[in-house]
Structure 1
Amino acid sequence: MAIIGRLWEKGVVEIAKKAKKMGEDDPRRIIHSLKVGLALTLVSMFYYFRPLYDGFGVDAMWAILTVVVVFEFSVGATLGKCLNRMAATLVAGALSVGAHRMATLSGGIGEPILLASSVFLVAGIVTFMRFYPALKARYDYGLMIFILTFCLVTVSSYRDNEVLKIAHERLSTVAIGCGTAMAVCVCICPVWMGSELHNSVANNLEKVGNSLQGFGGEYFGSVETPDEIKSKIQEPCTKICSESGKALKEVAVAMRKWTRSTSAICPHVTFSRKASEDLKSMLKTALWENGYYVLDITPAASVASHLIGVVSCVEKLAEAANELASLAHFNSMEASTVSPEQQQQPAHLLHQGTVVPGLRR
């Protein structure tokens, strides 16, 4: 019993804790699961009600399979799969009907040979097409469904002469499944990946801003550099980190609120650029005095050089964000939207958060 108890605790209880954490991290996952269940329940009505079942018979199972394979987390991904599946089913169904008609003209002996040859050629050609990067990136699922539909309709037409009926029922059930999936996905708590990407970019910018603001104090508190050199470059480096971080956070806040600054240049970018120019002048002259070895100044000079590059990147990023806001007609706002509480983050924020690329689904 003790062994069973330990297995229960390590197995079921641990899985339940992980499932609870996943739901708490993103409640939309729970909603998505319920939406899939609802869509499957709706298409299952073709089996439960006799009038609907009489219209499609066992082919109604294709509607259920369609919902399972096309229902995705976001509306865009679901729509893409639905369009791929519908187009592939339509084209493959029409092509299989044509192949059947040609095979029947060859007589009883030649029909299976032509059908098998058509399956071989079409499956081989379409499978080879799936290796093209452009097709694989956007139409891989559709090409796979094309092969499946063509083979099923073509092979089944040898024993069942009603090939048009088979193709029509296949297309109808796929259309019903796609329509049900899209209706549930769009009408019930839809997830738009455009908004997801927008918020992800804003969150990542804010995290990078927090890291930059904490970097100056964190680095100069632990670097092994002569005190004289450290005292000369610490102030401009810390200024660059602070102002660049504030600039990034201001851009993040503006993006999150769908607003744009009325000023052409962010004040924090101007301050960081001024500190960058001061640091450049200092690197050209001051650090080589008093006969320091190259190894003494290399760590600090390397960081200072990277920070100068960071200023240039932040400036370009702020310009790009402002251009995007202008093209998208964001609402105008005054500059310096980041509150003092948001700007003054403690140094330990340097290690908080993970920058996630915008993105997958």
Structure 2
Amino acid sequence: MGKDNETGKLEWRINVEDGTSERLDPPAGSGLSRRVAVWFKCLVMNRFVLGTVASMEKAWRIGAEEPTKVVHCLKVGLALSLVSIFYYMRPLYEGVGGNAMWAIMTVVVVFDSNIGATFSKCINRVVATLLAGSLGIGVHWMAAQSGSGEPLVIAGSVFLFASAATYSRFVPSFKARFDYGAMIFILTFSLVSVSGYRVDKLIALAQQRVSTIAIGTSICIIISMFFCPIWAGVQLHHLLQRNLDKLADSLDGCVAEYFKEKEASTQNEDEDMNKKIKGFMCVLNSKGPEESMANFARWEPAHGSFNFRHPWKQYLKAGASMRRCAYCLENLTICINSETEVPDHLKNHLREACLKLSSASSKILKELANAMKSTTKSSSMDFLLFGMISAKQELQERLRTVPERIEKHEEGEVMEKEGGENRRSMHEVLPLATLVSLLLENTDRIQEIVRAVEELSNLAGFKTGSQRKSDTKPNNHH
């Protein structure tokens, strides 16, 4: 709000994006109604501008955090642009019988974010279309031979095949790989068999539909493989590697947070520590993505270090063992957030042994993550396992000496517990005892992870560090 230099009256202005201000002329009417209208207009414009800016910032942040999403969007646009040529160019349009729109629809429904998912949908769509089209033509021929019973034959065949295909979608093993194909089979068979009752040139129509679907799937496969390829197998491999790192950081963070000294810390340090501790939650929520990526990875051709018969199922076993470890870490956070105060002398007695065991355990997880990253077998795993087992035994020895500790009385006198009886209530000791038992249990679960990852490296043919160095050594023979 400002004052007009010419009239000396108050006027309303609003700042716009280019840095200038816009004058708002109040509508005719009473002074109160004019002010209400001006305020309403200012509110609407400000909210629109702020909402637009916030949406643009959110979209930019999503693209910056995951560039693969931007790449996928560009690839979909390129595929649709190429397939639309069949619709724009008259010779190509007439060559597919005016059904070029089916190629565009195919690109929209089968192009996915990774190569495995795109392959899966393309193969399912082509095979299901061929099978359903052939059966539809066969049913149409049988119905034509039946004379007046043609509608009954068609209706009965639709009921039979549609019911069988729908039932197959409830079988877990079939649903995981061929659910999309079963749906396309039902759709195509129903269209071909029912439309054949009114269409004369059914075979020509089926050929045109198959050709347009083949064009659409071919363009999707070529673009997904040769333009910034995104492999489901590589995504799964990197997901397990990141989960191992998060488990290691979360384990270190949980134990360090429990035994830390009571001193003031900044808000940023607390936020970083909380984020580090809660890394195990990503592991707990990764079951669905792992199963989906493993399913799509089976459809992909050999690429990089992943051959055609790569042991993708073993990735699921390794992921399951990681989640069992993450459940232990989830219970550790409950100990951290417990409001029960544990006696300081007990925490001090077990602090060093617990920190040593968590450090040895996290080193194993980080070593496994590095081995996954370089697709090699770890050469120091036996040494790290020995260190973790030694730290576990040391913590168990510390637990045996807890009842024999000597307490200092408030007056400074030294008083030994008689008969090793624990004078502290169980309520005070329970959080610490729970944390120690979880750390000991976690070592067994980490050994399960080691066995799963080692089995994966053996089945996948990962090389040792020395073998990889010899492979990369330059050849000096002339």
Bin of the TM-score, shorter chain as denominator length: 0.7 to 0.9
Match of 2:200 among 161, 164, 168: 161
Indicate yes or no: 2:365 matched with 1:233.
no
Provide the alpha-carbon RMSD of the alignment: 1.9
CA distance in 2, matches of 1:206, 1:7: 42
Match of 2:460 among 323, 328, 348: 328
Deviations 1:118-150 (A, max 9, x none): 223322332233222222222111111111111
How far apart are residue 313 of structure 1 and its match?
A: 1.8
- How many aligned residue pairs are there? 332
Q: 1:106 to 1:330 in 2, by over 3 A?
A: closer
How far apart are residue 86 of structure 1 and its match?
A: 0.7
Partner residue, 1:138: 177
Q: 1:330 to 1:128 in 2, by over 3 A?
A: closer
Indicate yes or no: 2:438 matched with 1:306.
yes
Partner residue, 1:344: none
Q: 1:3 to 1:263 in 2, by over 3 A?
A: closer
Relative contact order (alpha carbons < 8 A, sep ≥ 6): 1 or 2 greater?
A: 1
CA distance in 2, matches of 1:115, 1:321: 54
CA distance in 1, matches of 2:58, 2:162: 42
Partner residue, 1:252: 369
Partner residue, 1:117: 156
Q: 1:179 to 1:2 in 2, by over 3 A?
A: same
How far apart are residue 318 of structure 1 and its match?
A: 2.5
* Contact kept in structure 1, 2:353 and 2:398, CA below 8 Å: no
Structure 1: gaps (5+ residues):
335-361
Matched position secondary structure for 1:84: helix
* Contact kept in structure 2, 1:81 and 1:141, CA below 8 Å: yes
CA distance in 1, matches of 2:165, 2:448: 44
Partner residue, 1:189: 228
Q: 1:100 to 1:184 in 2, by over 3 A?
A: same
CA distance in 1, matches of 2:133, 2:386: 63
How far apart are residue 332 of structure 1 and its match?
A: 2.4
The two structures have a TM-score, normalised by structure 2, of: 0.66
Comparing 225-234 with 195-204, greater Cα deviation is found at 225-234
CA distance in 2, matches of 1:123, 1:260: 50
Partner residue, 1:84: 124
Deviations 1:146-177 (A, max 9, x none): 11111111122122221111111111111111
Higher helix proportion = 1
Match of 1:31 among 71, 79, 102: 71
Q: Any runs of at least 4 consecutive aligned residues in structure 1 with deviations exceeding 6 A, and if so which?
A: none
* Contact kept in structure 1, 2:102 and 2:212, CA below 8 Å: yes
CA distance in 2, matches of 1:213, 1:119: 61
Which one has a bigger Cα radius of gyration? Answer: 2
Structure 2: gaps (5+ residues):
1-40, 263-335, 404-419, 467-478
Matched position secondary structure for 2:222: helix
* Contact kept in structure 1, 2:97 and 2:208, CA below 8 Å: no
Match of 2:397 among 275, 281, 284: 281
* Contact kept in structure 2, 1:269 and 1:311, CA below 8 Å: no
CA distance in 1, matches of 2:459, 2:171: 34
Q: 1:167 to 1:259 in 2, by over 3 A?
A: same
* Contact kept in structure 2, 1:203 and 1:252, CA below 8 Å: yes
Q: 1:220 to 1:79 in 2, by over 3 A?
A: same
Comparing 90-99 with 267-276, greater Cα deviation is found at 267-276
* Sequence identity percentage: 44
The two structures have a TM-score, normalised by structure 1, of: 0.86
* Contact kept in structure 2, 1:283 and 1:301, CA below 8 Å: no
How far apart are residue 55 of structure 1 and its match?
A: 1.1
* Contact kept in structure 2, 1:269 and 1:314, CA below 8 Å: no
